[in-house]
Structure 1
Amino acid sequence: MTLSRRAFRVILPVVILGNILVALTIYWIERDNIEQAEIAQLSRQMERLKTLFDEDVEFTRNLVFLLRVGDAVRSFVREADDSFRATAIGVKVQDGIEFFSAGAKRFVSFAILENDLSVTYYFERSDDPFASIPLAQLDAARALVKGSGPSSNEFAADEGQPLLIHTELIDRTTFSTAFATQRQSAIVLQSAVRPHAFLKMKADLEAHYGEAVTIARNLARTGDGFVATATLLPHLEAGLRLSEAYLSERFRPLLLTLGAGCLALSFASIGLLLFLIRRTITGPIAALDSRVTDVLAGRRQSLDRMTGAGEIERLSTNIKTLHDQALDTLAKVQEASWTDSLTGVSNRLRFSLLGGSMLERAERAREKLSLLFIDLDNFKFVNDTFGHAAGDAVLRRFTDAVKDILAETVADGRSAEPPLLARLSGDEFAILLPETADVQQGQSVAAKIVARFQDGLAVGADNFSVSASIGIACFPDDALSFTELISCADRAMYRAKAVGKSGIARYSREFAESEQRLEQIKGELRRLDPDEEFSLVYMPIVSRQGVVTKCEALLRWSSPRLGAVSPGEFIPVAEANALFSKVDRWVLDKAVGDLRALQAVFGRDLVLNINISAAELSSRAIVDHAVEAIRRHGVHASSIELEVTETFAMKAPARAKTVVQSLKEAGFRLSLDDFGSGYTSLKQILEFPLDTVKLDGELVARIHDAQGKLALSSIIDLCHSQNCQVVAEGVEDRFTQAALMLVGCDLFQGFGIHRPVPVADLVSTGATAGRPTCLEMRGVIGH
């Protein structure tokens, strides 16, 4: 057997197998990309499908609303003459429906029903002049009448044709949404459409993907294969699967291309290798073998290029080229494994390796190092609002700016060695640089970075509100190992964020003491007996006439081991460690138990305000506990106003809304506390059934400047439009109270009104003053 044939037999399976493995790797990577792209496209299609459905829902809701607020339906309901109502006024109702539906060539119906489901009026925009109300609409009306809500949306089938129905219970006197006490006398207004655009797109999707769009309650997203879902109604979802046949069609071109490429590349590689072997393995090969052996043994780093035109010379040239390429590839791979691909600076791995080496050199030379841990403020907002492309541009621009600052530091000639910059993850960066005796390098660089981005970060023509929060830790003052140094700087950075972002915090041992204090508070909260250590004080809230109409229960904790602990310290610890229920339930029981004593002082109409943790609104347990508390103490729910902070709807808005609605249905009053402290969404005032909005003290303090007064006036007008009382917190003097009265504030609370005191002090004052106003009490108890 010739040497060429031997080489062919060796080369053929290796090359083919290698190319097959490469092709399979590429195939599975691209297959996953194609599948993810199809899923993303399907998700967008489902969103468009939901949008079409929402448009029909909005159409039916607006049709009922416009007819309800207009004169035609109101006149129709109130007209006693059946003949006149059916002809003249009924035509006006029909004209209103036709006007609102103008241009929409589709089925539209409108019905007015009595509470017993008898049909007073029905109009259907269809080809059937003698049409009667579909059974699906009657079923929807019956479900609303028997239920507890004021309105409903239903997607039902009418003789095989889908029908989207909106139904509302309306008070026949005021023509507004019927309350619970008005349901028995309410009338039913109902509109329905056939969602043709929705159904057409649904059919198009089914034809395109070869799978039916499933519309049902509570679709299972795992196990049943739904890759894209859309919530049509709170109780109704639509979902679609990607069939294997559909995906196979998308994968087939890729498979054929890679297969052909694999074969072509395999034959080309084999042909080239056979050609090189045939040209280079004849003749004397001992010298070349020796040199190659030396390279493999590490006795030399490279191969010399051999001169001449013989086979061995050409083989030497090719081997040298392959060797150099391998070294270059190895260097590139090593560089890639150590470099952040987006910014081009060191990644966490390289930062750890080089940082550890810098620490060892500094320790030997008895020098100091500073580590700056940098986090970009508001970066998540940029990513979520402007997209990841904008976020990547911000990261690159930030890196370039920091490089310029570090280059200035190196140019000053104060650094013993150049600073080390790395991107650790996401929007977190770190800088390790040596300290000098005359200048605090870390503090100086940090100050320059914060100042550079104080007014935001400019990327092209755009300016993003991105700033930097920086924590600084020093070796060996704060830590003796690199891992500990990063941890200290990280904690200092979070302290800088807590102070107000866009700032610098230097690590100190006080951090450890603060963390130890939090651990002590957590331990004491777990083991304490609330009856022994907790107590309540009450702060009166007065009306514009100075009469006490409400009292807020405030928790105080006197620990035998920790002393007096402020709510600002232990409430966040309780919420972060799932201990809030223990605190809230004690406060609720104790405060409800004191209500009768407070009402004996201020009158039976006094409302007691009790704070509950926003975390309580994640389950219905707080509703059951509150109902049990008022039942046990024999008080009315309407005398209790539960206060939640404005952050309560941020993490789980749907669940929080359900719990808040349950509390409202149980008869409790609801108050939004600390409005304007930084997280406020006006949507909460508009969407949630609030009775009171309490303005934060910092917002109230702005009453003394013109812009602040105008803003407060607008906020109070908005609250009044939603039938909410407005309480001003932090009222410290009569001048502030008078200014708040001028902009329409209803109630006032603060040390300038009355300080919080135990219930016994309020009761003893009431016994001597005889249900005093708050102005009288200030003279008795003290201001």
Structure 2
Amino acid sequence: MTLDRRVLLLILPVLLAGYALAASLVYLAQRETLIRLETARLERQIDALEMAYRSDETVARSVLSVLDAAPELPALLRDHRENARIDALARRLEDTVTALMGDRDAFASLAIFAPNRSMTYYHDNSGDPFAGISQEQVNLAGKQWTGETSPSRDIYLTDGHTSLLVVGNIVEDEPRSEASAQPGSNAALVQVAIRPLRLLDIWSKIEAAYQTPIEMGDQPLPALATLSGAGRIGSATYVRITPHADYLPRLLARLKIFLVVGTLAISLVSIGVLLLLIRTFVTRPIAELDRQASEIVDGHRNDFDAAGRSGIEVGRLRNNLKILQQKTRDSLARARAATYTDTLTAIPNRPHFNIMAEEALAQAQLTGAPLTLLFLDIHHFKLINDRYGHAVGDLVLANVAQSVERVVLHHAHGAAATVARLSGDEFAVLLSVVERDASPIADAILDLFSDGFALGHDFYPVGISIGIASYPDHAKSVQELVANADAAMQEAKARGRNRVVHFSDEIETERGRARLIQGEMTRIVPDAEFHLVYMPISDRDGTIGACEALLRWTSPIFGPISPADFMPLAERNGMFAEIDRWVVDHALSDYEHLAETLGTDPFLSINVSSAELTETTLVPFLRERIKAYGVPSPRIVIELTETVPLENENVFNSIVALRREGVHIAMDDFGAGFTSVLNLLQYEIDTIKLDRYFLDHLIERKSIDTLQALISLCHAENMHVVAEGIDSAEKWQTLIAAGCDYFQGYGIGPPMTIAELRDWAAAGNVHRPERFAAATNCGRAITPPGDFRGMT
């Protein structure tokens, strides 16, 4: 929406509301004024009626006075049969009416009533030979005779429709004495009637104007409504004018229309003037600034125009925009440099790496030269943050980046090389025009982490795995190149970490197989395809007092699938909860058979992912299953894997709840993950199981003192220690000497079903203190059959 429209939308309602309020106040004031004006107008109309009435009354009395003074009238009264006198009187009447009324056609009549009240003479100027006196005039004459009226003073409007003004006078043929109150015997009543033309004209106009008849009476008439007028127009004639019910509303409606139209007109004019002024002095200069700013942003303009006559504020805004433009240019230059640089390590970040990789791939496609990518992943970096703090962790990452970049530039021998940070502890090395194997560069990087990473005089226990993929052998796009190098790095981690793996068809096949296994897991039938095996655990005397329940999956399509292959997929897909519950339920149901087989109440270890502990339903489920199968809870050991960090609050609460149920807690594969000794002390772990690769590393390096110190620390904290991967007498004796409590491995016993365990126990393997005697004598290790990596 443009600024002009916004201004219009802001101003228009305000002006309309203001003018509407003003118009409402004006209406209220004008309404009362209008009513008063109309009331005054009604009074003037009544005054006009009175004036017309008085004027016509004067004419009628003049006619009567002239006739009364005429000498023919007394003679006529004495001998009313003389036609000559009658004719003379008639002519006299017509001449008088014409002289006084000014209109020869104006109606006038003369009636004479004898003392017996009978009419002896009637004449009018209508020219109608059959014309006669009206009954109303006759009735009125009777009242004049009886004195009900005062014929010498009153004039009567007989009817608003017949419209005659009637006056009367009693005439004597002889003068009457002042003492006589009654007419003489020869007295007669002379009655004159005229048509009040002026009065009728005003009367009809009033009725037409107010659309209502005028009320008339011989008594005072009070006003009846808000708008009503009443008054007297004659000595005994009263009128009342009450306009039609629609008269006042129509007037008010016209007032409303006038005010509405006027308000809108004034509003539009005001808005137009305001908009013109605002557009001229405010919005147009701002719009011009906006246009120039848009052109600068689009690159069509370099700077703003010089300030015009747009006012101080707009001129100041223009100057501020110019200052802002310059600062923005400076910031943009710095941002461009920072956008493509990792702020911690000062090397290219992932977006910059993607751009450079696309450019390098396009160049390689033109020249046919190879393009190689090394994907680097730092191990145990979380330990650095947890143990030494994030400040030290940031320092280690920065020095790792610098060291890797220095090694790459030293070994690249002129090849275009880029080191970038892809994420927290993942790096990439992009090598262009490498005509030989990139393994020397990868090995040199690997050497940086041979004994941890050195930073000054300190060594930090981190390692590295490197995956290598190249174009065009392994990928056709940057995304594919990164994905394949990542897959090779994952394979390096799976093979024991701290090594280099090149992407190969076997890795691609394995990755495809993982996808197929993942698809197969979506339709798995646990009771038909899962089963449990139990791996014995011995004490220092060689007695089997515990077993670990291990899950096995036999797919109808792929056959046996190692837990190392499907459990990570289950955790990533959110299926671990269902699988863990299946394992817990079936392991507890087998406890009775284990006790019968081993001849004692053994400890039963069950693996549960730490991610499962984030759910609040595990503890109630385990409690219900223990009760259902009657298993003593102190004989249950829950082994945790490091899917979720132990620092998680839900994990901590679940561990506390499990211990309240009497269940023991063990940390599996200690030394291979991120769990620190501080975590073990904080969460009151009952047992730690030393990872076999961790043990192999310590034994190979003759780090017996370290091993003894670790075991002593665990004993000091009331924790038992289980050594995994016992497959030789040398390991057995070394760990016995170091003070280890329990032992597990193929040298003790392989994973077995309940039936196989029963046969194995029947062969006397439950208590064998000489278990490694033969191996000790012959000096060779006991090697488990086949590849058992990841089976425990």
Do 2:383 and 2:674's aligned partners in 1 also have CA atoms closer than 8 Å?
Answer: no
| Aligned: 1:655 with 2:650 | yes
Change (3 A) 1:532 1:683: same
Q: Which amino acid aligns with 1:756?
A: P
TM-score when scaled to structure 2?
0.50
Q: Which amino acid aligns with 1:356?
A: E
* Alignment-derived partner of residue 16 in structure 1: 316
Query: In the TM superposition, what are the counterparts of 1:429-508 in structure 2 within 5 Å?
Result: 429-435=427-433, 439-440=435-436, 442-451=438-447, 469-499=465-495, 503-508=499-504
Change (3 A) 1:353 1:10: farther
Change (3 A) 1:366 1:14: farther
Question: CA–CA distance in 2 between the matches of 1:445 and 1:594?
Answer: 54
Shift of 1:674: 2.6
* Alignment-derived partner of residue 677 in structure 1: 672
* Alignment-derived partner of residue 271 in structure 2: none
Change (3 A) 1:472 1:23: same
- RMSD (Å), alpha carbons: 4.6
| Residue 365 of structure 2, aligned match among 357, 363, 366 | 363
Which segments of 5 or more consecutive residues in structure 1 lack a partner in the other structure? 27-324
Do 1:620 and 1:659's aligned partners in 2 also have CA atoms closer than 8 Å?
Answer: yes
| Aligned: 1:630 with 2:626 | yes
Question: CA–CA distance in 2 between the matches of 1:739 and 1:606?
Answer: 26
Question: CA–CA distance in 2 between the matches of 1:546 and 1:389?
Answer: 48
Do 1:369 and 1:432's aligned partners in 2 also have CA atoms closer than 8 Å?
Answer: yes
Question: CA–CA distance in 1 between the matches of 2:738 and 2:462?
Answer: 36
| Aligned: 1:512 with 2:516 | no
**For each residue in 1:698-738, what CA deviation from the matched residue of structure 2 results, as whole angstroms up to 9, or x when unmatched?**
45557868954433433333333343343333333456445
* Alignment-derived partner of residue 556 in structure 2: 560
Do 1:548 and 1:602's aligned partners in 2 also have CA atoms closer than 8 Å?
Answer: yes
| Aligned: 1:620 with 2:616 | yes
Shift of 1:561: 1.0
Which segments of 5 or more consecutive residues in structure 2 lack a partner in the other structure? 1-304, 775-792
**For each residue in 1:562-600, what CA deviation from the matched residue of structure 2 results, as whole angstroms up to 9, or x when unmatched?**
111112222222222221122222222212112112222
Q: Which amino acid aligns with 2:511?
A: E
Question: CA–CA distance in 2 between the matches of 1:406 and 1:747?
Answer: 46
Question: CA–CA distance in 2 between the matches of 1:543 and 1:381?
Answer: 32
Question: CA–CA distance in 2 between the matches of 1:613 and 1:530?
Answer: 18
Do 1:603 and 1:771's aligned partners in 2 also have CA atoms closer than 8 Å?
Answer: no
| Aligned: 1:525 with 2:521 | yes
**For each residue in 1:121-167, what CA deviation from the matched residue of structure 2 results, as whole angstroms up to 9, or x when unmatched?**
xxxxxxxxxxxxxxxxxxxxxxxxxxxxxxxxxxxxxxxxxxxxxxx
Q: Which amino acid aligns with 2:638?
A: L
Do 1:548 and 1:774's aligned partners in 2 also have CA atoms closer than 8 Å?
Answer: no
Q: Report the structure number with the largest CA radius of gyration.
A: 2
Shift of 1:402: 5.9
**For each residue in 1:268-288, what CA deviation from the matched residue of structure 2 results, as whole angstroms up to 9, or x when unmatched?**
xxxxxxxxxxxxxxxxxxxxx
| Aligned: 1:748 with 2:743 | yes
Q: Which amino acid aligns with 2:364?
A: A
* Alignment-derived partner of residue 578 in structure 2: 582
Question: CA–CA distance in 2 between the matches of 1:402 and 1:776?
Answer: 49
Change (3 A) 1:13 1:517: same
Do 2:538 and 2:546's aligned partners in 1 also have CA atoms closer than 8 Å?
Answer: yes
Q: Which amino acid aligns with 1:664?
A: R
Do 2:687 and 2:720's aligned partners in 1 also have CA atoms closer than 8 Å?
Answer: yes
* 9-18 vs 607-616, greater mean Cα deviation: 9-18
Q: Secondary structure at the match of 1:541?
A: strand
Q: Which amino acid aligns with 1:370?
A: T
Change (3 A) 1:616 1:17: same
* 401-410 vs 542-551, greater mean Cα deviation: 401-410
Shift of 1:672: 3.0
Do 1:382 and 1:464's aligned partners in 2 also have CA atoms closer than 8 Å?
Answer: yes
**For each residue in 1:223-282, what CA deviation from the matched residue of structure 2 results, as whole angstroms up to 9, or x when unmatched?**
xxxxxxxxxxxxxxxxxxxxxxxxxxxxxxxxxxxxxxxxxxxxxxxxxxxxxxxxxxxx
Q: Secondary structure at the match of 1:361?
A: helix
Q: Which amino acid aligns with 1:747?
A: Y
Query: In the TM superposition, what are the counterparts of 1:201-350 in structure 2 within 5 Å?
Result: 348=350
Question: CA–CA distance in 1 between the matches of 2:432 and 2:574?
Answer: 43
Q: Secondary structure at the match of 1:612?
A: strand
Question: CA–CA distance in 1 between the matches of 2:411 and 2:696?
Answer: 44
Shift of 1:418: 4.2
Change (3 A) 1:326 1:502: same
Q: Secondary structure at the match of 2:725?
A: coil
| Aligned: 1:603 with 2:599 | yes
Shift of 1:655: 2.2
* 670-679 vs 573-582, greater mean Cα deviation: 670-679
Question: CA–CA distance in 1 between the matches of 2:698 and 2:409?
Answer: 48
* Alignment-derived partner of residue 79 in structure 1: none
Shift of 1:606: 2.5
Do 1:469 and 1:504's aligned partners in 2 also have CA atoms closer than 8 Å?
Answer: yes
Do 2:666 and 2:689's aligned partners in 1 also have CA atoms closer than 8 Å?
Answer: yes
Q: Secondary structure at the match of 2:638?
A: strand
Identity of aligned residues (%): 38
| Residue 718 of structure 1, aligned match among 707, 713, 718 | 713
Question: CA–CA distance in 1 between the matches of 2:765 and 2:355?
Answer: 77
Q: Secondary structure at the match of 1:371?
A: strand
Question: CA–CA distance in 2 between the matches of 1:372 and 1:531?
Answer: 44
| Aligned: 1:667 with 2:655 | no
**For each residue in 1:268-312, what CA deviation from the matched residue of structure 2 results, as whole angstroms up to 9, or x when unmatched?**
xxxxxxxxxxxxxxxxxxxxxxxxxxxxxxxxxxxxxxxxxxxxx
TM-score when scaled to structure 1?
0.50
Q: Secondary structure at the match of 1:730?
A: coil
Change (3 A) 1:636 1:460: closer
Change (3 A) 1:643 1:423: closer
* Alignment-derived partner of residue 266 in structure 1: none
Q: Which amino acid aligns with 1:655?
A: N
Q: Which amino acid aligns with 2:591?
A: L
Do 1:469 and 1:493's aligned partners in 2 also have CA atoms closer than 8 Å?
Answer: yes
Question: CA–CA distance in 2 between the matches of 1:721 and 1:700?
Answer: 20
* Alignment-derived partner of residue 207 in structure 2: none
Q: Which amino acid aligns with 2:368?
A: R
